[in-house]
Every structure is written in C-alpha cells, then in structure tokens.
Structure 1
Amino acid sequence: MNIACSESSAVKNPKVPQQFDAIVIGAGVAGLYQLHRLREMGMKVRGFETGSGVGGTWYWNRYPGARFDSQAEIYQYWFSEELYKSWQPSERFPAQPETERWLNYVADKLDLKKDIQFNTRIASAHYDEQEEVWRIATADGEQMTAQFLIACCGMLSAPIVERFPGQSSFKGELYVTGLWPKEPVDLKGKRVAVVGTGATGIQVIQTIAPDVGSMKIFVRTPQYVIPMRNPKYTRDDWAKWGSRFHELKKRVRTTFAGFDYDFDAGPWHEQTPEQRAEVLERLWNDGSLALWLASFPEMFVDEEVSEEVSKFVRAKMRERLQNREDLCDLLIPQEYGFGTHRVPLENKYLEVYLQPNVEAVDCQRAPIERVVPEGIQTADGKVHEVDVIILALGFDAGSGALTRIDFRGRDGRSLKEQWGKEIRTAMGLQVHGYPNLFTTGAPLAPSAALCNMTTCLQQQVDWITDCIAYARKNGKKVVEATKEFEDDWVRHHDETAAKTLVVKTDSWYMGSNVDGKPRRLISYIGGVGNYNSQCDELASKGYPGFAMR
C-alpha cells in the first residue's frame, strides 16, 4: 500500500540507481502474490511498502472492530493447497489482527520479506522512452530503474483525511480510521464523535459503544445493513473446508462477485411472492453478503424489484430500531435501493442508537461546517463538544492510491492529470500511454470494488505475470495497451454500467465522495466470471489489444 503515514525510513543519499527487472509497489494481498510469481520466473524483483510490515489494507486499517466480510474459506490464496490447509482461521469473518498475522504467515512461508523494502514510500515513477525503463524515486530520494512496474497499491488505500476546515485546531484527540495508530487508543469514559457511517464507521461505532462515556454519531447517508453471522471455526470445520479446496478454487473464479455463492435462486418474475420471500429470508439469515450478491440480480436493473428487496431490508431494520420514527427516518435509506451502495455487515450496530448515551446528529439537516478547538460545529451553529474525533470518511477509491504517486508515461503525460479529467483503463490492467506499467485493483475492473478481493487480485496477478512471461518468451521488451483497445473497454464498461441502477446513486462507487472526481463507476459490473473469461480469451489469442515490441 502506498499512502502517507507517520512512519518513515531513514533518509537515504541519492546514488546510482539500482536496476531491477521488475518493481512491485505494495505488500498487501496482491503485492505479496505478485512478488512471489515474478520471483518464480527468475526475475530480479523488489517490493516497496510504505508501512513497516506486510498486510496492505490489513496493516493500515487497525481501527476498533476492523474485520473483513468475505468468509475465511474464500478469502484465501489459491496457488497452494498446502498453504490453504495449514492456516487455521478462528472464525468465519476474522478480525484485523488475525488477518494481518495470516498475511505475515504467508510472507514468511514464501520468504518474501527479504525482497521487500519497508518504510519506503514511492513518490514518482517516470517512463524513460529512450532506455525503455521506468525511473522510480522514493520520498527519501532513492533512485531505481525497472523494465516492468506493477502497482499493487490497493483499491481502498488512499484515505480521505483533510475534509473539514479547522481539523488542526482541535484540542482533543483526532484519528483517521485508515491511518489508525498501532499503539492502543483508550476511549473508556470519553466523549467521542464518529463522523461517517459507511462500512468502516459502522464497525467502529458498534465496537466502541460499550466503552465510551458518550458518543455522537454524525449521519449523512443512511446505509442498508445485514447482521453478520460469525461462528467460530474448529479444526474439524477447517478440515472440511480444506477438503473442498479445488472445488472452491474453481467456483470463485466463475461467480458474479468472486464468492462461493451466486445468483442461483432463479428469475424474480417466475417466482411467487412466497417463493421470493423464502429466498430473501434464507439469505438474510445466512448473515453474509449473499442477500446482496446471490439473491436476485434483477434488483440491480429493475426499479420495481429493487424496491421490493429494499422494503424487505427496511422492515428488518425498522424492527431492530423498535419502530422509533426519529431513528428510522435517519438510519433507514429511502432515496436509493438496496445494493446500489456497498452493503455492510454489522453486529448490533443499529442497537447502539438505542443507548441513552448515544446521539445521532442529522447531517442532512445541519451539515458539519468545521472543526473547532472544542469539537465539531454544524450549520445550525451548534458546537458539539467532545474529547475524541474519529473520522471514518472513506477513501479516494480505485484511483486515489495511483494518483498520489507522480506517474509519468510517454511524452511526459501525467496519470494524475489525465484521471483528473476522465478515469480510463484497459480492463484495469494497464493504461494506454504507460508502457510496462501494470495495475491491480485499479478502476474499470471488478477488483476495484465488486469482488471478493483475493479472488480478483490473484486473477489479475496471474494474468499480468503470464503476459510478461509471454512477452519475454517472444523477445519483446515492451507491453502497452493500445488506444483502440482502451477505448473499446471503456465503452463496454460504460454500456454495462448504464443498464444498472448503481450509476443513478451517489456513492463512492461513482466517485461521489471525492470533490471534483470524474463521475464513472469505478468497478466493472459485468461480473467476475465474465471478466475472467474475457481475460482468458485475450491470453489464449496472444494478447490482442496489448501491443508488444
């Protein structure tokens, strides 16, 4: 992951650039696997990571309650059956500390850390057209060159930090969830404000609620939520999952969102209301994302179906809020349909609002104007005095981690400037004009948002590695997506997205959470299985659309 943080390496003196066959930026799920694959090919490769350890998302996001919402049995690496079976998850949805330990376990098993330079932020990467290499510089002035540059920077790794005027004036403690400190943060008995009620904010709120003295939750956009069912896993449980390794490995590559479940309930309009209700109830009780990603795909394109599914979820939420009209009006979405935003899993999140020491602040009625020394001032002139402010403001998703590095391609073109006008990629794997730069988790691929991340990131790493191997085998030094291919992909991406209700909803999926960000669905919504088939077809035909020389 490549984001600014408080950790920094000792200043290095500029010297003759080190030369590599390939450089990998980031040591998260994708970066670790990419380093492993390139080393297998015998390439001289180095990984660079801003943090002091591996983990990517699971290194940085150590805020209270952080955990993933893909089941442990499919949030996995699939290149080694032995590696899969030898790790023992403690529960269905493990928390951040366990996931960070797992990624360290993988890195140690593969002896990857010796080829990763930690505490090092990549500041710039400029393509040298004459030498046909990337010239890379760290924030400390260290210089490197590489024929191939693979950016595994993460899709949610550029946290929004400076959102409100006056943040530096606050007299208390202020924390950003995506840059949470390693040291324990004591919130016991304190007056705490949480700004943001997306997936991250929800996890924080439900986790700290028992300990704080009081909590003010600043709510702007209500969220549909699903209660998480998170049973403990025994060794026998894991042995059963291990026996299905090959089945699961094949399955996740073919489903809509890279999970082991898919839209298998049958067409909405061919079922009776009772049959539909049975499907929704069963998947709701599963306590996973299956209600969203394995019930009825028509909810993404048909407004009537969307409304019926939304009514089902609203009723569940209303019951938990004890029909408190003030809370129902504030916390239950009415303006958009279920599934057109990211759907969080939670654990007694809604019940927090029923606590006497918790206040929900309506930021639709009175938006936050600024942070003042005493706390947060809203547009109605009220100052909410608190001891601690927690900002769960989300990320500049998909593109932010890449635009925070000064990438310069052919003719000096700037990726930040280009994406400031229009975000474009060739399948999220390359950008025309940037030879030998490959990307994972980048815009216009499922991995940018709509996928079980281990599924999509591994698929992209494998495709990139095979493409590089193909080029080397055929005596080619440069791989670059053509303008025609990129144009075709952007057109296909937009046509696919335009058929859905997702593009009609303001969310971080559309870049709506970042001022001035060009509006485009950041993630390909044509399905993981479909995307993978298209990638496989390109590889089988010798990578048409990716010019090699």
Structure 2
Amino acid sequence: MNTAVQERPSPTAATPAARVDAIVIGAGVAGLYQVYRLREMGLSVQGFEAGSGVGGTWYWNRYPGARFDSEAEIYQYWFSEALYKNWQPTERYPAQPETERWLNYVADKTDLRKHFRFNTRVAAAHYDEAAGEWAVQTEQGETFRAQYLISCTGMLSAPLNNTFPGQESFKGQIFHTARWPKERVDFVGKRVGVVGTGATGIQVIQTIAPQVGSLKVFLRTPQYIIPMRNPKYSPADWAKQGQRFEEIKQRVQRTFSGFEYDFTNGAWADLTPAQRTEVLEKLWADGSLALWLASFSEMFFDEAVSEAVSEFVRAKMRERLKDPVLCEKLIPTSYGFGTHRVPLESGYLEVYHQPNVEIVDVKEAPIERIVPEGVQTADGKVHALDILILATGFDAGSGALTRIDIRGRGGRALKDEWSQEIRTTLGLQVHGYPNLFTTGAPLAPSAALCNMTTCLQQQVNWISDCIQSLRQQGAKVIEASQALQDQWVSHHDETANKTLVVKTDSWYMGSNVPGKPRRLLSYIGGVHTYRQHCEDLAAGGYKGFDIR
C-alpha cells in the first residue's frame, strides 16, 4: 500500500531551555497568536508543532480543492492593523496554498518561528503536583517543564484514518484528506474512489472530477449545499477592506457566529411568505454561509421553519440536478438544513452528470473492507480502484487532546474521563487539570458555529489575560472548580437541547466516532453570548476558579 509520505520527527536548530514559563502545543491560528501574546507579556515560551512548518489546519489540509469558507476579510488576526493591511488576498475565499502563505507571513513578520520546535509531536503531559508544573514529553523522548500548558491543537485535527479493515492490503494509493502529501498526486486517467461527502469530500470531488478516468463516490449521507460566490480581490478592493479594519474587528466579536453578518432579518412569524422568500433568495445569491448563519435563527429551533428553509434549498438543488435518481440520492430529506455543517461548493452537483462518475450508496450496501483491488461493499461487489481518498473526517473537539497522554491531579487521565463524558469549563479549562488551558476545545463555540479566527483569538486573549492576572496577584495555580464546570455544562446542554442540532447524527454530536459520548461539541448559544460569559468571569475576579 502506498500512503501519503509522513514527515519524520527530527530536532530543529533551536535548543530551548528544558524549563519555561509556558508550553504551547500547535502552530496554527491559535498557537501562533498564543505564543505572540505570552511573549509580549514577558514569559518564556516553548511551542511544539508536529508539522515541519506553521499553519495548523492550513498546513495539514492540502488536499485538492481545499479553501476557506470564511471571507478573507474576517479570517484575520486583529492584533495588528499593519499585518492586516499589508497582506493581499487574491479572492474572497482563498485556497489552501494562499492561506498557508498568509500564516507564514504572520509568523515571519512577528518573528515567531524561533519559539517552536517543528517535526515534534507531544506524546504526554503530566501534572507534577509537588512542583506545580507540567512535565511534557515529546515522541523523541525529550521532557520539558512549564508552569502553564496551553493546548492549541485544533477542533478538527485528529483524523479518522484507520476507518476500514484491510486498508493496509490496498495495492493502490490511499490518502486521508487531512494528511495529504506535499507532492503532486496524478489523477489523470485513474480509477478514483472518494469516501465521504462532507465539506472536505465535496471540495475534493468537484476538483478532481475533470481529471480522473472514473470516479466512484461512496455516499452515505447527502448534504445540503450553498453555491460559493468567490470574486477576485484586487489591491484596490483590499485597500477598501483595510479602511474598515476597526469596524470589522469590532463587528465580528459581537455577532452570533463570529462572521460579519448576523440574524437581522426580523422574526420569521412577522414576515409574509413572499418576504421570507425574498430574504432567502438574497442570501442564497450572496454565495456565503449567511443563508445558514444569518437568515432566520428559528430554523435551529422550530421544525416548521426548518422544513421551510430546507425545502427552499432542496428546490435549488433539484433545479441543478434534474435527474430524479440523482435528486433522490443527493438531496437530504432525513434532517434539516443547518443541523449538519453546511458546505459551500462550486459545481459539485454537476459532477454527477458526468458519465464517468458513479454514486455507490453505502447506506444500501455499507463498506465491509478494503481489499487489494479496491473497496468491497456488503452486496459482495468489489469496486476496483487505483486511488482511494478518505474524506472520513475527524474525532472532533476531543480527539486531539485524548491522543496525548494528559494526566492531572492524582494521575487522573483526560482520555479516560472524556471516554465517559466530555466536560469542560467554557472550553477553556477542565476541572482536575490545574494550569491547563485549551483553545478550540469542546463546549466552546468553534468549527463553523464560529469563524475560527474570531473565536480562537478571543480564547487566547482570555487565557493570556488570566495568566497576567495570576502573575499580578502572585498566584501560581488556577483550576476550574467542579461547581463552575457543572454550571457551564448544564448551561451548554440546556442551550443545545433547545435546538434541532442535537436530534441529528453528525460529527457535531460525536456520532461519527463509535462509542464517543454524545454531546454537542460546540457551544451554540452564540459567539456574543459566550464572550459575555468569559468577560463576566474575568471582571468578577475569576470567581468559581480555585486560585492559589
């Protein structure tokens, strides 16, 4: 079996001290900013990154067609107006190579690389109660110690790549989208299979379809889609965005989703059918996620509204698909629009009109195993392939942390606790793990329920300000109390259980991972509401935290 080339760990040129004030795991959007903030506060910081460079999601996810679905003007850092204005996005939704270049630009302009050890994966992090420190061990066997440990490992960074039995027997090439090789993959004339039709699978399918000899899409759950409108940005266009820097910065911090748009169309019940349709048509034409995150919030709570919006989208899809068989396979009916993560697409539906594209319905005949020739389904068929692409998603939210051996007070293991129930305090701390802070973690808004740069920067700022407050007090340790954590989990669940999202099986609920405890992984009360909770805790002197 030929697989994507994995980079071998090797020491970097920098040889940091074995003990520092803070250790940061990850060099993505959050990790870079977290190191920047701590360094500016005068702390010694050591960052670790499994990849060979910065970028996080935009380093690992280099599959064909990978690109933003947040607008370039809001997927930004807000700590430097000069950084914002001096970067030049080429389009509204830049592709992966441009985004990776942007994060390298940020790292270079702020001189952050020297604080990271690349090609270094963290294997374990154990809290030393006597010393009040975290002992962090890398896969190379090195140990580093720090007062504070901050995880910036990402919401979607633990790929489900060992999904089917027999994968090692496949004679062709097999790739997971989240571990795509840097080298070009040749699809021309090849028999290609794609497993998974979420946002990633859709981007891959629409991108490679014109190149392949044949394409088999192993489809289980069809997706609602929104056509992407992706105009090019000239330098003059970006100069206009730069003039709005402060306006946009303030706006995204107070909307429901951390995007610039919000639910401002009035109540569904107050509008006539014609007015509702006018709103939906306008947002559909915008070619963004606004139809989902800025049309009518009632679609998350009211089944009748959900069905009306869903039928609007289904009708749009039927217009493009035409073929009744394709409509039956590709248009969702078993769940409502917006209760799954909604992808933007460019010509995805039209791919299925190509004579060399075939849908393999794995709801009717599930994949049983991978065999040397290809994919064997439950009906006994073997689908012969040269290349197999697994767009099978992630162990979202919790997976990146449970794949590290994290142990807190009394040797308690985070993996064991979260295998029973996933609990956090605002996604920022976990009771029982002193001085461990987390970004992009469960029970905080993230991963499409929030524009990630908005939410990650807010969490980094809260963590940094909290550490600064501790230092000013002369305190050494902070840990969320059991009572505070219980209070947040209760609020999170109460908020989630009012929505239709919890009634739908998706990675939002952990349903894609066998045995994973069921709980909505992202806070759905709104970015503005979450921010207020965090601000109130800080203004109240971090009441509910054990500080000593």
Task: State the TM bucket, normalised to the shorter chain.
Answer: over 0.9
1:184-199 correspondence runs (5 A): 184-199=184-199
Rounded Cα–Cα distance in structure 2 between residues aligned with 1:514 and 1:20: 36
User: How far does residue 545 in structure 1 lie from its aligned partner after superposition?
Assistant: 1.6
Kindly tell me: are residues 16 and 62 of structure 1, through their superposed partners in 2, closer, same or farther at Cα, counting changes over 3 Å? closer
Rounded Cα–Cα distance in structure 2 between residues aligned with 1:83 and 1:89: 12
* Residue equivalent to 1:78: 78
Rounded Cα–Cα distance in structure 1 between residues aligned with 2:493 and 2:249: 30
* Residue equivalent to 2:363: 364
**Tell me, which stretches of 5 or more residues in structure 1 are unaligned?**
none
Kindly tell me: are residues 437 and 379 of structure 1, through their superposed partners in 2, closer, same or farther at Cα, counting changes over 3 Å? same
CA contact (8 A) 1:30 1:458 kept: yes
User: How far does residue 331 in structure 1 lie from its aligned partner after superposition?
Assistant: 0.6
Give the letter for the 2:344 counterpart. L
* Residue equivalent to 1:10: 10
| CA RMSD, 1 decimal | 1.3
* Residue equivalent to 1:404: 403
What TM-score results when the alignment is normalised by the length of structure 2?
Answer: 0.98
* Residue equivalent to 1:172: 172
Give the letter for the 1:202 counterpart. I
1:120-269 correspondence runs (5 A): 120-269=120-269
Rounded Cα–Cα distance in structure 2 between residues aligned with 1:537 and 1:350: 46
Matched residue count: 543
What TM-score results when the alignment is normalised by the length of structure 1?
Answer: 0.98
* Residue equivalent to 1:54: 54
Give the letter for the 1:70 counterpart. S
Structure 2 SS opposite 1:83: helix
Query: Is 2:19 the partner of 1:23?
Result: no
Structure 2 SS opposite 1:435: coil
Give the letter for the 2:413 counterpart. S
Give the letter for the 2:396 counterpart. A
Give the letter for the 1:330 counterpart. K
**Cα displacement string for residues 444-494 of structure 1 (whole angstroms, at most 9, x for unaligned residues):** 000255100000000000000000000000000001000000000000000
Rounded Cα–Cα distance in structure 2 between residues aligned with 1:123 and 1:537: 35
Structure 2 SS opposite 1:50: coil
* Residue equivalent to 1:461: 460
Rounded Cα–Cα distance in structure 2 between residues aligned with 1:80 and 1:539: 24
Rounded Cα–Cα distance in structure 2 between residues aligned with 1:16 and 1:107: 18
* Residue equivalent to 1:419: 418
User: How far does residue 184 in structure 1 lie from its aligned partner after superposition?
Assistant: 0.7
**Tell me, which stretches of 5 or more residues in structure 2 are unaligned?**
none
Q: How many percent of aligned residue pairs carry the same amino acid?
A: 71
* Residue equivalent to 2:117: 117
User: How far does residue 9 in structure 1 lie from its aligned partner after superposition?
Assistant: 2.1
* Residue equivalent to 1:374: 373
CA contact (8 A) 2:10 2:120 kept: no
Give the letter for the 2:101 counterpart. R
**Cα displacement string for residues 326-382 of structure 1 (whole angstroms, at most 9, x for unaligned residues):** 111111000000000000000000000000000011111111111000000111000
CA contact (8 A) 1:64 1:208 kept: yes
* Residue equivalent to 1:521: 520
User: How far does residue 53 in structure 1 lie from its aligned partner after superposition?
Assistant: 0.1
Rounded Cα–Cα distance in structure 2 between residues aligned with 1:16 and 1:148: 16
User: How far does residue 223 in structure 1 lie from its aligned partner after superposition?
Assistant: 0.2
Rounded Cα–Cα distance in structure 2 between residues aligned with 1:343 and 1:416: 30
Rounded Cα–Cα distance in structure 2 between residues aligned with 1:262 and 1:419: 33
Rounded Cα–Cα distance in structure 1 between residues aligned with 2:147 and 2:109: 28
Give the letter for the 2:225 counterpart. V
Rounded Cα–Cα distance in structure 2 between residues aligned with 1:29 and 1:22: 18
Give the letter for the 1:533 counterpart. Q
1:81-100 correspondence runs (5 A): 81-100=81-100
* Residue equivalent to 1:394: 393
CA contact (8 A) 1:69 1:289 kept: yes
* Residue equivalent to 2:278: 278
Give the letter for the 2:366 counterpart. P
User: How far does residue 6 in structure 1 lie from its aligned partner after superposition?
Assistant: 1.7
**Cα displacement string for residues 34-92 of structure 1 (whole angstroms, at most 9, x for unaligned residues):** 00000001101011000000000000000000001000000000011111000000000
Kindly tell me: are residues 373 and 249 of structure 1, through their superposed partners in 2, closer, same or farther at Cα, counting changes over 3 Å? same
User: How far does residue 534 in structure 1 lie from its aligned partner after superposition?
Assistant: 1.0
Query: Is 2:295 the partner of 1:309?
Result: no
User: How far does residue 547 in structure 1 lie from its aligned partner after superposition?
Assistant: 1.6
Rounded Cα–Cα distance in structure 2 between residues aligned with 1:478 and 1:498: 34
Query: Is 2:442 the partner of 1:433?
Result: no
CA contact (8 A) 2:11 2:119 kept: no
Structure 1 SS opposite 2:21: strand
CA contact (8 A) 2:157 2:394 kept: yes
* Residue equivalent to 2:38: 38
User: How far does residue 10 in structure 1 lie from its aligned partner after superposition?
Assistant: 3.1
Rounded Cα–Cα distance in structure 1 between residues aligned with 2:511 and 2:16: 43
* Residue equivalent to 2:346: 347
Rounded Cα–Cα distance in structure 2 between residues aligned with 1:462 and 1:227: 34
Give the letter for the 1:247 counterpart. E
Structure 2 SS opposite 1:283: helix
Structure 2 SS opposite 1:447: coil
**Cα displacement string for residues 74-116 of structure 1 (whole angstroms, at most 9, x for unaligned residues):** 0000011111000000000000000000000000000000111
* Residue equivalent to 2:382: 383
* Residue equivalent to 2:547: 548
CA contact (8 A) 1:90 1:232 kept: yes
Give the letter for the 1:23 counterpart. I
Structure 2 SS opposite 1:446: coil
User: How far does residue 544 in structure 1 lie from its aligned partner after superposition?
Assistant: 1.0
